[in-house]
Amino acid sequence: MTTIVAVRKGNQIAIAADSQTTFGDDQKLLAPYDCFHDKIFQHGDSYLAVSGSAAHDLVLKGALADLKKKDLSSRQGIFETFRKLHPKLKDAFYLRPEEDEEDPYESSQMMVVIANRHGIFGVYPMREIYEFSRVWAIGSGRKFAMGAMYAVYDQDLTAKEIAEIGVRAGCEFDVSSSLPMTVYTVELAAAAAKEA
């Protein structure tokens, strides 16, 4: 349960997240009580944030650190990286890949947003990889965040300002998201900026 957003505008990319952890339906852990409330972590020149179980954060950090060859710079590179990660998640971190028996593939059980100088990418449970050209959000506050960011995207605002508006909207209306937020920005690589 969370609100995680990413915005691409001009030559800037921003990624932002709320700071609340929720346990079941009736208990929350707010930032003043949580020594590690930042839901975004850096790996190389990329920022990553995970929606789903709180365990995913440490698991993904550990799995990425153990993987010798990884590429988070393109849709295909991210797919290959997460394809290599999946057996490690099962064998070394005890991931339970079962979801619906009708699913065509085993699930990695997490949604990840990646922001780096190459763009904004989303990784979904069956290793579906998307690249986003403007805004995206994951977590329980995503619908509020998406609506707010859509409403202001064409205004004279930076990617960081739009991301902050998205997280604030998620925190305002989603019971599982709370301020303060964390925000990180990166400048797009020259080739990626030309494509925008």
Q: What is the pTM for the complete model shown?
A: 0.93
Tokens, residue 19: 């700071």
Closest CA to 2 of 194, 119, 166: 166
pLDDT given at position 55: 87
Domain locations in the chain? 4-187
pLDDT given at position 101: 81
80: which residues sit within 8 A by CB, 6+ positions away? 71
pLDDT given at position 98: 85
pLDDT digits (tens, 9 = 90+) for 43-73: 999 999 999 888 899 999 999 999 999 999 9
168: which residues sit within 8 A by CB, 6+ positions away? 148, 179, 181
Torsion, Cα of 39, 57, 64, 74 (10° steps): -50
Give me the residues of the chain with pLDDT under 50, please: none
Closest CA to 159 of 177, 136, 180, 178: 136
pLDDT given at position 51: 94
pLDDT given at position 193: 64
C-alpha to C-alpha distance for 143 and 6, rounded to whole angstroms: 13
Which is the CATH superfamily of the domain at 4-187? Aminohydrolase, N-terminal nucleophile (Ntn) domain (3.60.20.10)
pLDDT given at position 195: 64
pLDDT given at position 23: 87
pLDDT given at position 138: 98
pLDDT given at position 84: 96
